Structure 1
Amino acid sequence: MERAADKPKLTSVLDDSQALAGFSRLNVAMVISNPQSEDNPIVYVNDAFERTTGYNRAAVIGRNCRFLQGTDTDPEAVRKIRSAIEAGEDVSVDILNYRASGEPFMNRLLIAPILGARGKPVYFLGIQKELRDDEQDQANDSARLHLDTVCSRVSKDLGLIVTSLVGKSDAKPPTTEEERQKFLRTLDVLPRRLECLQFVYEEMQLADEQWNRDGIDLGSLLSRISHTIAHNEGRPGVRFVSLVEPLEVNLDTAIRVALMTFELVSNAFQHAFDGLDQGYLELRVNRLAAGGLRMTIADDGVGIPKKQGFPSSTSVGGRLVSSLLDGLDATLNVARGAAGTVIMIDVPVGFTDIRE
């Protein structure tokens, strides 16, 4: 039997497992900005950003991050950030920032571009961590590595989403009002998918803590994602059932399947029961005898119109699902019954049963 010390860690893709643990608990502040809009304004911050800076979301969305700077902020650090953003490159600096109260604090900041299909930045991701006095007195290279690896992983996974949504439109900034509104609709996708990615990272961390695990437990992951959606978007009268077998898959497969589940289950809650007082929605994931897995999402709602393609190429979620299907080499079939819709997806991935 292979010993724990002999098995490679899933988190080796992040170089250090503590990096994932920190992100999963949301101990690091996260910011996303939009360089395609004038002055690269903030479009998303997480709860840790609010706790660290004292600014709430409403006060920072639409503003450039420079409002965190103050009298004693090092101009060289500011210049380094500006130069990297103009060049579309990663940057790492320790910079003096100021809370909403005016209190200064030292901030370890890492910024990475989120690239579109043409390889140009369509967003910038910022990962921040407040440095305490004891940390400022140390070289603390390991802490910097933790943040750097988190930033790299998250920017890569968000890039997967952005590439499928923005596509060729990242060639130039939106100029007309119609183009701006379309871009804003795609932009709205990123923050709402971060929690989905966080669930994947948490399962990844757990897999490393349990030495006999070879992959990510897709059953646990999809159950958590789907029930979180049901909690946030469910309504009285609509029953939801999740029946997911315990299956192990690799990280990239887990990310794609998780994002696809998020899109399809959310879409069903949002649209399947329009005008209905009651309904039933089921997510089922099973192992196929010939290999791979089958995901079925079935509802008894109003159904998809016969002339409407699915997934829709005109919707943000539809384009993302199509891209995820291609990345998994998966097939999708839609059955429209007298009542409701059944969506069946076959994914040809290798996996093993979760061992006791």
Structure 2
Amino acid sequence: MSSEQPDPELSETAQQINDLFDSTELSKAIETEEFKQFLDYIPIAIVVSKFFCGDQRICYANKAFETLLEQDTDCAGKGWSILAGFKDEKDSKVTLDLAMLRSGEEFLGTFRAEHPKALVVEAFSGLIQNEDGSENYRIAALIDITDRARAEREEYARRIRDKDILLRELQHRVKNNLQLIVALIRLEARNERRGEKVNLQTLAGRIESLHLLYQALSNDGAGDEVDLGHYLSQIAAAVMNTCAVEGIRLDQKTDYAPVSVNTALSVGLVVNELLTNSFKHAFGGRDRGVITVECVRHGEDRYRVVIADDGVGLPEGGVWPVPGKIGALIVQTLRESAKTDFDVQTAPGRGVRVTMNVDRKAAARGHP
């Protein structure tokens, strides 16, 4: 039989039941009217059976037990079959009466009955033996958890509804942002026609950024916002895994930064672009360097995102993003959709530092 433990919320009640079952004087006490009257005032359903002629027959049931089962007649003399309507939640073939007779465990499990009314109970059992070790009494306690179980079911149903709404929203966003993926691929194809080499690895990194975002949205509890700090950490890890060079260290500092999905998408694509460029171009001729990723709170509902490296910097007169390149399209999308400030600082031999100030509230008005 099940060796599971009762709900932690019931631990105090369970301990009281165990103390009752373990009483060395229980066998004698059960036979007294005084003890039976005491049990009648306990708000837990308790029923006791006595071994008689090779069978267990109920000799006492308190008022809470009769109320729980809506018994309008005395239970005395009946067998444990009166509990046959309760079925184990984990195995419907196991009924409470069989569990009572077979189990050597104090906690039998959680059982459900539909008639005469819907009930969910946690059941405990105890065996009282004679001095010679032979079976004398069996005692059972049933704790009504119907209301709690109903609340749990309602909460579960609510989560399913929320998940369904989120899934539909996610499908909507996937459909919309597939257009962005198509645009990126078309730009790469256009560049190829101009004689420029297509970098499939870079393109794959951009698509991976979208994949990580949708993965975050699919997790339990995800809503209209995502944690930008955690999302950028995932992007950094993915780029590091693809482009890592020995001697180049990634330094991260990220806070919890909830933003709209639209903002996360735009910022994530820019960060992926910058990190990829840093790994590939910032440390030419060097055997070591540091790339920094920061996403920190910078005022109420405002975050500062910094991507920087201590590499060679852009060449004299160089700019980023380069007009007409995919990076420029991505930055333009960031500025238009997320209303994000964007600043690039660089000098030959002193690396590149890109700062983005993200406004959570302003960004939340956008919707992909």
TM-score for the superposition, normalised by structure 1: 0.50
Structure showing greater Rg: 2
TM-score for the superposition, normalised by structure 2: 0.48
